[in-house]
Homo-oligomer: A and B are copies of this chain.
Amino acid sequence: MDVNDYNMNQIKVIEIKKSVFAENEKDADALRSELKGKGVFLLNLMSAPGSGKTTTLIKTINLLKDKLRIAVMEADIDSDVDAVKIKEATGIQSIQLHTGGMCHLDAEMTRQGLDGLDLDGIDLVILENVGNLVCPAEFDTGSVCNAMILSVPEGHDKPLKYPLMFSVCDTVVINKIDVMPYFDFDLEKCTEYIHMRNPEARVIPVCAKTGEGVENFAQWIYEQVLNWKN
């Protein structure tokens, strides 16, 4: 790695190029096999803008970093604020992926990001996808599993409006439960709507700000990685 790869915040920034592969599914399967060979578990984390992905990740990583060696890729159209936050708050390896306006990551774009990480000894890479409930759901990134965050202020009707996103996620973290009293959010109804899209989905209510419930998300990730390794 060259010092020129890093920006003024000492964050490595990778400008992602558009994929040339027409068949993303095949490419995603190939990437999954490669990562399996290296013992690296890839988790794809998605959500709408402002649902609290980065704060949730920080709390989760701090619960897991003594048990797993973790690296993070923060995808964003622009800016490096998330990668800076992760690095400062957790000390783990964190890089920023710039999509240059693109609304999602596919497997080849994910691979470009992975190439910028030092994967030696890493157990778990978490990809924080672009904040968007539509396009990222359509593209397999090569991850072993997908999780998403829905925050209370967004409303409990989102599984009705963004069906594919809720179908492709194994776990839905419900964030910002501390503000539940100020919003018309029905957790029971939300869970019912999520299970209409994916009957197997796990629903984990948390408050990333205070840390409440985050241990359940961390535990879920830990179990996924252990089961996959064995």
* Chain A residues proximal to chain B, CB less than 8 Å: 48-50, 76-79, 81, 101, 103, 130-135, 138, 151-155, 157-158, 160-164, 176, 178-179, 182-183
Contact = CB atoms under 8 A, between A and B. Distances in A.
Given A134-B132, A161-B131, A103 B103 contact: yes
A48 B131 contact: yes
Given A134-B132, A164-B101, A178-B182, A154 B50 contact: yes
A186 B183 CA distance: 20
Contact of A77 (B48, B157, B163): B163
Given A49-B161, A132-B134, 13 more contacts: A48-B49, A48-B131, A49-B133, A49-B158, A49-B162, A50-B154, A77-B164, A81-B157, A101-B138, A131-B133, A131-B162, A178-B182, A179-B182
Contacts of A76: 161
B135 A134 contact: yes
Given A49-B48, A158-B50, A135 B81 contact: no
A155 B76 CA distance: 15
Contacts of A163: 77-78
Given A77-B134, A77-B162, A132-B132, A153 B48 contact: no
